[in-house]
Amino acid sequence: MAPRKIIIDTDPGQDDAVAILLALASPEEIEVLGITAVAGNVPLELTAKNARIVCELADHTHIPVYAGCDRPLNRELVTAEHVHGKTGLDGPVLPDPQMPLVDGHAVDFIIETLRVHESGTVTLCPLGPLTNIATAFQKAPDIVDRVQEIVLMGGAYFEVGNITPAAEFNIYVDPEAAEVVFNSGAHIVVMPLDVTHDALVTQQRNEAFRALNSKVGHAVAEMTDFFERFDKEKYGSEGAPLHDPCVTAYLIRPDLFSGRHINVQIETQSELTMGMTVADWWRVTKHPPNAMFMGEVDAEGFFALLTERLARL
Ligand code: BDR
Ligand code: CA
């Protein structure tokens, strides 16, 4: 089967970086048409830089990287340096990128790419706030029906929130954008915290990355070392949750994940629960399903896949 064509929309972020590396290491299943940066974990200037650092780490300097929206649709940007460090990619020491950003706005790249490819053949993979995707849908509503699928990391049901008691970071940062995307009618697959909090980099898994004994293996081990300090302290968990790589792993091995096709609405009014993904997991409303909301991951299978693929870079 031909590889799936995707655009990765991202705010790297150590876990975004691993998600990108997994995609670049998997050309049989995934063709990365481009990477679009958005403001999120750190401001846009840094996410656009970090996306190129990751491409260069993987020796994939031909991937076009575009800068996109530098703030949410109608809010101030909230960032997460407390998790990802000042650069967004703290941990390994990686060189500044030599590859330039491609001229033009990420949103226009998303629109043009969906228009030039056959309808239903391009998948969007958002790993950060949904600002770029929502802006593209608002600017060019004709592209929505052309999207094959949106596979995104965001939201939570049983795990509720990580940036507030009620909300997950990516959705919280731009709830209005999330509302546009979830109400767009596009086919959506969601990797919420319910899944990603089971994808933990234990010490053994971290050592497996390091044992690859490659530039990429060392960098991923150092990134997850950095990232896990915060999570261990906060959740008392065994290691850092690899949120965003669940998205790219799904494209390769969808059988590793299971969930429910349900209705998901986004809270945009209440300050208390802003950005909450109100997921009708128990189907208590008659609202039609708008998302495949994942609930479980085979963590052993996920890390086996990730380690095997990173070894190829
Ligand atoms: C999400 O927020 C970011 O900090 C991570 O990169 C991930 O996309 C997890 O809530
Ligand atoms: Ca992210």
| DSSP bridge pairs for 105 | 67
CB burial of residue 37 (10 Å; 0-12, 13-18, 19+): buried
What's the confidence (pLDDT) of residue 1?
86
In angstroms, the CA 231 to CA 309 distance is: 25
* 15 CB within 6 A, ligand 1: yes
Q: Do 285 and 178 touch, CB atoms closer than 8 A?
A: no
What's the confidence (pLDDT) of residue 36?
99
Q: Whose CA is nearest to atom 4 of ligand 1?
A: 41
Q: Do 4 and 31 touch, CB atoms closer than 8 A?
A: yes
What's the confidence (pLDDT) of residue 8?
99
Pinpoint the alpha helices (H) of the chain.
Answer: 14-24, 44-57, 81-84, 106-116, 131-139, 169-173, 175-182, 193-196, 203-210, 215-235, 245-252, 299-310
- 89 alpha carbon to ligand 1 midpoint, in Å? 12
Report the atom number in ligand 1 closest to the C-alpha of 153. 8
What's the confidence (pLDDT) of residue 239?
84
What's the confidence (pLDDT) of residue 139?
98
| Domain 4-310 CATH superfamily | Ribonucleoside hydrolase-like (3.90.245.10)
Active site residues per annotation: 243
Q: Do 201 and 240 touch, CB atoms closer than 8 A?
A: yes
* Type of residue at 289: P
What's the confidence (pLDDT) of residue 274?
98
Query: Mean pLDDT of residues grouped by 10 in the chain (313 residues)?
Result: 97 98 98 99 98 98 98 98 96 97 98 98 99 99 98 97 97 98 98 97 94 98 86 74 98 98 98 98 97 98 98 98
Q: Which two tokens stand for residue 31?
A: 């063709």
Q: Which ligand is nearest to the CA of 172?
A: 1
* 41 CB within 6 A, ligand 1: yes
Domain boundaries, the chain: 4-310
